[in-house]
Structure 1
């Protein structure tokens, strides 16, 4: 019998999860859990919140402002980390997150709630970014991929706990306690992070310049659509959409002309493989907003409990994760086929949701099962294409900008979620979502909302076809 030994440089999970790196791994995973759980408990509790404090017309703004604040805070996190040491940076992110949680817990009405959610988003976005930024300082290079996988896997697992926690607080009508509970948890987390994280001082590289102009245009585009969602007429909503489109075009023009960019060079140049990769990603992730709206529709139209509604909505994440793991095995032509198939699968799921969700006069486990399956299919449609789109984006970025491409993937994802939520809120409000105690109007808004998601799936299919054509021209 002969023994086999791993090479000294080989990356092992035991090096990340146990031994000298275990404390840092626990801290970084804890930050991801705190941010991810907060997202889901908020979505699960929100139908109960609007029933008590009102503001149903501002429903979508909860996710829009939270995500937008996370984008803006993530963009300046590098500067904060450069000016403060790691421990103080984590402490600041925890303090901002806890302050936002306190504001939301005490909110007497929806405008104050939105202020709290914005502060929460700023703290959460900073914490999320710091966790990923710490990887290059806390681990040797051979463990970087393992550390990234740890945080990605932690995110997926944490998303399953959110509906349970939020559902329990909503079930007993103590949603304020759900936000208040985050305050001591955040305080304990910040203390642990202060004790366990290594001190990183002079080894920090200088933070690069921030593209404030593009960030302002990005935020303006999201807020213009959100403002249009409050318009009492179709004309007012249309103005919001037109202004938003103009701001996006200005963002693209500025990005292509400026030396200080949010995205890698060529990402905003129409027709390039990099642009098309980001376009397909954005259109796919747009549809994940079904997870945000489904708890409301399941509770109001189908009488499900907050706990069950939250878990059914979370099936999108499960479908996405499982399909992504399955799809990652494909290479070559098979990889191209699954990228092309993803939007088609997504379209099938959204069409079922558009037909079945408004059926408020149908009850029983059969309909709940159909909606659950459709949500899994929606998630699977995103997951099939997702890993390969990320790969394409990195492949078609200049070597000098690989680091920028990695951060741009996160920015694109958060922007698409924020912008998609704003557009979804506009469509829902214009079709009856904000009319309380009118089941028919609520059902009508569900049909139009999921048909909008179906349209995005069609556009993603068209964009993916253009992308694959371009890849063939480049010999990929």
Structure 2
């Protein structure tokens, strides 16, 4: 027995038909705000620091953004339910726009940090609600294609973001690079007002779970602080404290009258719970390549910034290309295989990077990067869709909105764990190529072990999904 909505055929061109084109553009633009903003800021901020000072605060421009984006994402489903998607999206876009203007016209790093905090809060809410809108605006047969289109946006941002920001910073000013977000945000607001209907129930009185949101922010802040600590003991304590705090939030949330998460979040006996573990653990495992790969290529093999950046971008290219290719799959059995294959390729890719550094062969390391990107590309859309469609009655918004938030949290946790492994292996103190290579190998061995958890969850999800479908039938 097959649901026609699931197994029916579809074409990429259908996303551009009058029925879906505005929705496709809106959701992709929501992703573009997040993607381009990251690359624009990372490229132009060093120049800003040279002009207005505050070098000692530069890392906080990224940390505060990350923490507030995760807090905003955690509240996205609640805001959508209480305010309506249209009001929540326009409001959060205005917050993002205000943050952009404050940062662009800042005269000190303190003002930049205020702007980045508002950017993070607004963008976190936008990303969460855009995810929650996907199953509302598109039939099931098109969902994988929507994720494929978003992957293309990320790939374009990975290449175009640094290029645009670099040219604007060099030819005009770093402020011009920040201001690229202004027209994007205004177009996004206009599209939201056009395609997202007003809430039929009006604005509801809202009880905001400030304690839980503050605890989430504090937990992610502990993770971020752990990633910059030099003492291994402090790193361990901060990561352990974050884990306890975040686990407590999830446990308390299940008993709350105003939950932020689906009731079976991270439960090992449900499709949603297992799926969320995959969404968390895959970025945790992959984060080491984002933090240490470019640096190691430069220090170990003498790569310049451009060459090392292009090397690292093979991950995004592989993700995008594979996401486009597998979006043509409609058979649920094939999608289940992709969910298993994705984490398996992640582990294979990380192990290949270990092998590449052991053999001192750059091409082998690049192969590992491509395998990791392929792993994300073949499974990410299907894992996300499975979580969305398997959520319990009335919980689809919370399950969908949690996906991008959890992905960001995974990268933050992964960066901290990679930093802990790096310090324990002596990476910062490495003075010879051999010492640097050995420390790098240790970092990626730890990442490979974490990836095994994601792989186990991928295989468990297939079995749980079979049981879930059997019960429904």
Query: TM-score scaled by structure 1?
Result: 0.75
Contact preservation (8 Å) 1:301, 1:439: yes
Structure 1 counterpart SS, 2:193 = coil
Distance change (3 Å), C-alpha of 1:264 and 1:173: closer
Q: Check if 1:95 corresponds to 2:98.
A: yes
Q: Is the 1:276–1:467 contact (alpha carbons within 8 Å) kept by the matching residues of 2?
A: yes
Give CA deviations for 1:169-218 in whole Å, capped at 9, x if unaligned: 67x99689785333332233345456666376665754665443433333
Closer/same/farther in 2, CA of residues 398 and 135 from structure 1, 3 Å limit:
closer
Counterpart secondary structure, 1:181:
helix
Equivalent residue, structure 1, for 2:232: 234
The one of 375, 382, 388 equivalent to 2:382 is 388
CA distances 1:274-311 after superposition (whole Å, capped 9, x unpaired): 22221122111223324522333323332223223222
Q: Deviations over 1:204-244 (max 9, x none)?
A: 75466544343333333322233334444332222122212
Query: Partner of 1:7 in structure 2?
Result: none
1 CA distance for matches of 2:174 and 2:211? 34
Mapped to 2, the partners of 1:395 and 1:123 lie a distance apart of 26
Shift of 1:371: 2.5
Change (3 A) 1:424 1:44: farther
Q: Quick one: distance in 2 between partners of 1:243 and 1:158?
A: 33
CA distance in 1 between counterparts of 2:245 and 2:464 reads 27
Say which SS state the counterpart of residue 315 (structure 2) adopts.
Answer: helix
| Matched residue SS, 2:258 | coil
CA separation of 1:281 and 1:349: change in aligned 2, threshold 3 A: same
> 1:29·1:154 contact (CA, 8 Å) conserved in 2?
yes
**1:182 paired to 2:177:** yes
- Which residue number corresponds to residue 349 of structure 1? 349
Q: 1:338 & 1:412 partners in 2: Cα distance? A: 21
Cα distance in 1 for partners of 2:334, 2:191 equals 45
Preserved contact between residue 218 and residue 248 of structure 1 (Cα < 8 Å): yes
Count how many residue pairs are aligned between Structure 1 and Structure 2.
Answer: 452
Deviation sequence 1:82-105 (CA, Å, 0-9, x none): 6968656533321213434555x9
1:151-162 correspondence to structure 2 within 5 Å: 153-162=149-158
Pairs within 5 Å for 1:195-344: 198=193, 203=200, 205-206=202-203, 209-293=207-291, 294-327=293-326, 329=329, 331=331, 333-344=333-344
Tell me, yes or no, if the aligned pair for 1:11 and 1:143 is still in contact at 8 Å: no
Alignment map for 1:451-466 (pairs within 5 Å)? 451-466=445-460
Between stretches 327-336 and 394-403, larger displacement belongs to 327-336
Distance in 2 between residues matched to 1:159 and 1:258, nearest whole Å: 39
Q: Structure 2 vs 1, CA of residues 67 and 312 (structure 1 numbering), >3 Å: closer, same or farther?
A: same
Give the SS at the match of 1:189.
Answer: helix
Q: Does the 8 Å CA contact 1:167/1:307 hold for their aligned counterparts?
A: no
| CA offset digits 1:151-170 (Å, max 9, x no partner) | 76145334334345426867
Structure 1 unpaired stretches of 5+ = 1-9
Question: Could you say what the CA RMSD is over the residues aligned between the two structures, in angstroms?
Answer: 4.5
Aligned twin of 1:421: 415
Change (3 A) 1:206 1:155: farther
1:431–1:448: 8 Å Cα contact kept in structure 2? yes
Q: Secondary structure at the match of 1:162?
A: helix
Structure 2 gaps, min length 5:
1-8
Deviations 1:8-42 (A, max 9, x none): xx999778647698678656544432321232455
Q: Does the Cα contact within 8 Å between 1:32 and 1:128 map onto a contact in 2?
A: yes
